[in-house]
Structure formats: structure tokens, C-alpha cells
Structure 1
């Protein structure tokens, strides 16, 4: 009996050590990013939708560049609060190193070595190039310093335990594209795939999630139940219920103007996203549209409404 108890205890300890190891935060270490250019970083900023979450709620115009944070995302896991990411040296990210920023964007790890919650869409940002990350960081450092820290997230146990996020990351965070393109796919479509799947993080809202909060990539961009309230996020594939009837020009015009082919206007959370898309170059909006025309067609990924 004593031998069996010792063996069971050893197994528990070994299992605990394995879980602790597997859940450890990944890091790029002390490496540096490529030489950066803030001008390029501005386009990455808009593609990445930084202002949608990190500007003060309701901000417009130049105020969207004051990244004080404060937007709240109320989910079944609790309420997540977007932090101040202005270059303020104590209340924002002004004292971060390049490695700190790269670890946050590509690995979801804080300067203190803790996992960030995936309400911060690093599961998509993990597909970004180091060059774009470097350029974005350079641009952020040119923005106004804003005083004031946001309040903490409001979460209940066990979601207060960040270490377990390391296991979630092993399942849902990787740097490979979601949609495999044919060898003859154009550079425009490949650019669109990068923008949608990486910095644009469109799948974070438009793709259904499973019980663990991971994206169901088998229904990529098929639409989903909204993270907040009882609304839905639409299907943006060419499938039934999606935008298959829209031309590439229709999609690009919607991203620029906010008007659908039926002259309806953008609404809800997409208002802020569309403002970001309007700041992109025409070529990038066209690339996004070209990609959305070739993604696999999927039926709506959310429950039918009565």
C-alpha cells in the first residue's frame, strides 16, 4: 500500500511539473526587432485596429490617437478592460523595450513574464511579421503621452489564474496562415490574407468559438455570437448567409465608406473598425476584398434566430 501511495504521489508531482512546464510563457528573449520606420507603422496601426480598443470610449478624430484605454469587453469569462498603451513612461508603455513589445504582440506575454488574456488578440497578431511589429512600435512612440491607468479586469475564479493560459496558447496560438492558398494565388490575395488573418484580426469576432474560447477555424469567418450581449457578428464568407453576392469592389467600398451594396450603413462595433479600414491605402482595402472572395464558403456559424 505504501509503495502504491508513493507511486501515486510521484505521478501527481510529475504531472504538476509537466503542466507547469507546458504552460510557461514563451519569449523571444532579449532579441531586437528590425530597423523600424514610424511612417510605415501608422498603416499597421490602422490595420491592427489599435484605436478601437485603446482610445477612450467614444473618441473620434485626433482623439483616437490618445491611447488611454478604458474600453470594456463584457464576456462570459468576466469583464476585460483595455489598458493605456500610450507612450507615457509609467501609465502606458513608454518604458517598454522592443523585446517587451514583440513578446506582447507575438506571444501574448507581458514585460513581467505573465500571460496576457486573449481578449488582447495576439492569437492573430502572432501571424504578423517582425517588421510590422517594429514599425508599429515606432509609430506608437510618436503618439501623445496620456496619464492615468485603467482599472483591472473583473474576473472570477478560475479565470484569475493566468498560468493556465499557457495551455490554451498551445492549442490556439500559432503563426501559420488559416487559409491555404493555391500556388497561383496572386500577391494581392496573399496580402489580403495577411491583413485579415494577422493585424486585422477579423477572425477574432467573425469566427465562432468553442467552449474554451478558442476560434473554430473549421468555420473561419462564418459569423459568430457576439462576445457581448445577444447580438451576432455576420458571416463574411461567400457561403449562405454571407457576402457571396458582394463583388470585390463592393467589399472594398464598404471598408472605405461604410455603405453596403444596398446602401445600408455600418453599425455597432463595426463602426470603429470601418474608420480604421478607411485609413488604409486603396491597395490594402482591395487586397482584403480579394482575399474575402476566395475564402472557403461557410454557412452561418451562429445559431438560427427565431
Structure 2
């Protein structure tokens, strides 16, 4: 029985292609995607109002103190917040979303040019498939290493559409600046020098994952992305207007209503442990790997 090494993923069928053939076949859903027990487990609270942070207020000396207190509360008690007025130009966001959508619209063989290699994670394929028996997510993805530059493997960087690489570069540069700004303010809230926190994570790799969730006629039986914690420093998630993101808090799943144009920010495991250590709260533990990841997530073509 095959097993993937750490940080790698086993090859599995393409979900986008599977959805196209299965929907009209009359056949039952492939059993590895059926996860009814998981999707129905636990109470789901609709319309969760996670904290909303305003980066422009943090940057304004007259307003930053109040917003800083809100940031501290969000990090310590939620680990999630929505970020508005983040300064990333809408043109940059729309360009990368357009190019990602165009990439996923390509014929399967064209996308496979940038497919993950056996035992790898970077490229086009599926994430976190560790064994041949595990249940599978109803999604495809493309995962790219962004920085440092020498870590890039351009075999996995699409050239169609032609603007793809430029739009990813511009988006990644802008979100990296947002992350750096947030780290500085988190340092102030922790009562440590901002350079101390930045130095602790300076040079960590930056990556980008875009997920595509095909339409599904049995949407109540599948998961687009398995329940997980993020083994990262921080995660910036940009979603479109299709709902589906949930977070778990106090034993319940909370459905997030994304604010138009906002980022959903997740405090990753690595940063959380740093915060816990600084606050002398060693009673919370999670398994970690050392990576900084900025994710762009697209939810497309919801089934109706």
C-alpha cells in the first residue's frame, strides 16, 4: 500500500474531470468522496460574525490603539478575522482571480503539463493525499512556491493565460506586505519589539495555493477541504461570493459570511505557538511544520 512522504501527496483522479463525467452517468458517487458522517457531524452556526479588522485604522495613529486592542482579542480568542481596507488594489486581486479561473478552464491535458510529480506537492493536483485508503476532498488545486525566488520550480508555473505569472507575482508581493504589517501590530499587542517578531520569521518560504471546488449534485455528502489546522505563520484567504468556509470554535462549526473584498486571516499554528509562548500559555499545543503560506482560494460553480 502506497503512502506519501511528509509534505507530499499521492496522485488521485482529477475531481473536475470526475464531476463532468459522473454527473450525467447515473452512477453512485465514488465511495472515497462520500463523507456524509463528517459533513453532518456537529452543530453548524449560520452567519458567524468573526471579528473584522481594519488595516487602515491600525495604520492611523489616532485610531490604532482601539483597533490594536481588537486585533489582540481576535488573535487570542478566535484565531480568525476578516481584514478590510487592507490596501491590496482590487485590480491586483481581480487579475489573479481571472487568471486562476482561466487556468482551471483549460483542458485537462493542458493543466497536466504542470501536474505534481510523484511524491511532490507543488504543481497542479490534489493536496494532502497520504494513503490509498483515505477519504478524498472534492477539489483540485495548484500549489506554487513564491519565495525565496530560488525555491521556485517554473515547471509548475502555468504559461496560459500569458499574464498568469505576472498576476501571481503582483498578488503575492501585495499580500506579503499585508502580512508584514499585521505582524508588526501583533508584536505591539504582545509587548515585544516588532523587529523581534519579524526576525523570527524572516526568510520563511511564501507559498500560494488556489483551490477549485467543482459543482456536485450530492453537495451534502462531500467536503471541499478536510477539517485541519494551518501549519503556517499566517494565512490570507480570499474567497468569492460562494459560501462554504467554516471554522470550529467552542465545539461548533461556524459558517463564515465573507465580506466583499476582504481577506479572511487565519493565525497559523506557528504564529499561534509564538503568541502562546510570549503569553506563557503552554496548555495549548499543536503539531507544527515550518512554513509560511499565503493562500488564495476560489470557490467556483456551486451546484444548484
Give the TM bin, normalised by the shorter chain: under 0.3
Larger % of helix: which? 1
- More strand per residue: 2
Greater relative contact order (Cα < 8 A, sep 6+) = 2
TM-score, normalised via structure 1 length: 0.23
TM-score (norm 2): 0.23
